[in-house]
Chains A and B, each alone.
Chain A
């Protein structure tokens, strides 16, 4: 009975409502608790992994678009155009409530999976 309860809890807590690919998950992790603009996301990944993980812009922009469509990430324009960007504004991304919930669910699922022991 206890085993059944545990597996149910894992299923309820750990299964995200939206399907998220590994790349999308990485972007969600990078955006957790902060607001970043496009170029800062690959930079965060590179620095956090000590240069072993990289994400090119060819992957980043479609991933951000997909996450926005799924409602996990929201974006806003920066206040003003910058000289170093040829007058263009920055677009800042952050997690939505659903994004945070999904990410926490994924994390919980992972930790439960690591802790799971066969009886």
Chain B
């Protein structure tokens, strides 16, 4: 019997992240490729795999009916959260410096869209045929951190955020 494995997509170098201001669109599905281009491409600032969404599914036991001898589980609410984002910055420069663009784009208290594209080489320009995941988030405090304690460590900012809404597998119009 022939074993036929489904096609898979390598993670390495195939994730791109853009930061787009809330002023660009009232809703995630109204974003366009032009909005992405006018936004800020953050891929080369972000370390590791930050900014991934988790939907924690709550479950509960349904009230037992008189005829029931077993417990029924019911699906409850979903608590969406986003993992901390760690990105590089230049401590000895102000926000006008290109090295601090990500720091300036992610100002504490601002609401932005984080647009995630998976499975396409980062150097590929976004097009109307690509699928995007969009996370509308309110940005938290920018903690000054470092990537580690070894001789390769770099200064970084680690920032949490709260999720306002998520939308998956969106395709954007050109403009």
The answer to whether A binds B is no
